[in-house]
Amino acid sequence: MIAGRLAGEGFNLVVCAETIYEWVYNSAYAIAEKLYQYLRQGKKRRTKHKGRSAQKSKIPNRVSIHERPAIVDEKARLGDWEGDSVVYTHKHAINTVNEQVSSLVAFTKLTRKTAAQTAEAVITKLSHYIAYTITFDNGSEFTQHSLITEALGVPVYFADPYSSWQRGANENINRQLRAYLPKRSDIRDLTQKELDNIAWELNNKPRRRLQWHTPQEVYDWLVQNPNKRLDLTQVAFGSRI
């Protein structure tokens, strides 16, 4: 991220990502200051991770991902979302949604991972954004998906059971959220404002797949250019402060 953004903003100093990782993990200063904790995964060692599998559940009027419009797979328009739940201790959870083209995210704290709370969270968040479709996994918290369609006019689709790769971007977002709030965190005192701040940081973080633009920069450009296909060379690097 640092290396790509420096190059994108035209700095004379160019540092490759491997050099940065090497310094973070092996330099005496970085080890003493434990700088690894500020990386996205916050791990002491560089390891590979797998996304969690989707779970089977009985969802009424479930529409398969295979019936979703082909344009969603093309990632050629703004407004196709994915969603999931990240579970914490004391039965608390966080609903996560992400827009596929821009990688924009939004989070909502849930006191319980219920279908009613989940539907309300998705409706509240997506009412502020452009939305054409949303794709979930097969968790029981999505059994009231019809309420989302009724409120927003957005059709809901479901990935195949045990096929988390079909919602790969959302799985990645969940891992990024875990970097801030690890799996066994007690989030009972976490406020929605604090959670919104985490989403803001992720939405204003440069991404490799966006040629080191931020999700917010890309989302805003697509909103301002509704009839254009995304051209990252035309997206300006804005202030992230």
**What b-and-e string marks burial along 93-114, b requiring 16 or more CB atoms within 10 Å of the CB?**
bbbbbbbbbbbbbbbbbbeebb
Domain count, the chain: 2
First to last CA, the chain: 16
pLDDT in tens, 94-128: 999 999 999 999 999 999 999 999 999 999 999 99
Q: At what angle do helices 115-126 and 145-152 cross, to 10 degrees?
A: 20
3-class SS of residue 216 = helix
Q: Find the domain containing 141 and state its range.
A: 65-227
Residues 9 and 92 placed together within one structural domain of the fold:
no
Which pTM does this prediction carry? Answer: 0.76
Q: What is the CA radius of gyration of the chain?
A: 19
Residues 32 and 117 placed together within one structural domain of the fold:
no
53-57, 136-140, 160-164, 206-210: range with lowest mean pLDDT: 53-57
Residues 125 and 192 placed together within one structural domain of the fold:
yes
CATH of the domain at 168: 3.30.420.10
pLDDT tier at 20 (50, 70, 90 boundaries)? confident
Residues 30 and 117 placed together within one structural domain of the fold:
no
Residues 100 and 143 placed together within one structural domain of the fold:
yes
Residues 12 and 125 placed together within one structural domain of the fold:
no
44-53, 127-136, 205-214, 216-225: range with lowest mean pLDDT: 44-53
Residues 24 and 117 placed together within one structural domain of the fold:
no
The pLDDT value given to residue 43: 76
pLDDT in tens, 35-59: 888 887 777 776 554 554 444 458 9
Residues 87 and 138 placed together within one structural domain of the fold:
yes
Q: Per-residue pLDDT for 60 more than 80?
A: yes
Residue 92, domain member (yes or no): yes
Q: Which of 41, 35, 2 is nearest to 19 (CA)?
A: 2
The pLDDT value given to residue 239: 62
Q: How far is CA 214 from CA 115, 210, 218, 236, in A?
A: 32, 7, 6, 10
E strands, the chain, are 80-87, 93-99, 105-110, 133-136, 156-158
d(Cα 115, Cα 120) in Å, to the nearest integer?
9
Residues 109 and 28 placed together within one structural domain of the fold:
no
Residue 239, domain member (yes or no): no
Query: Looking up tokens 């739940």, which residue turns up?
Result: 85
The pLDDT value given to residue 54: 42
Residue-averaged pLDDT of the chain: 90
Residues 191 and 130 placed together within one structural domain of the fold:
yes
Residues 119 and 172 placed together within one structural domain of the fold:
yes
The pLDDT value given to residue 203: 97
The pLDDT value given to residue 158: 97
Torsions phi, psi of 222, nearest 5? -65, -35
> CB atoms < 10 A from the CB of 221, how many?
20
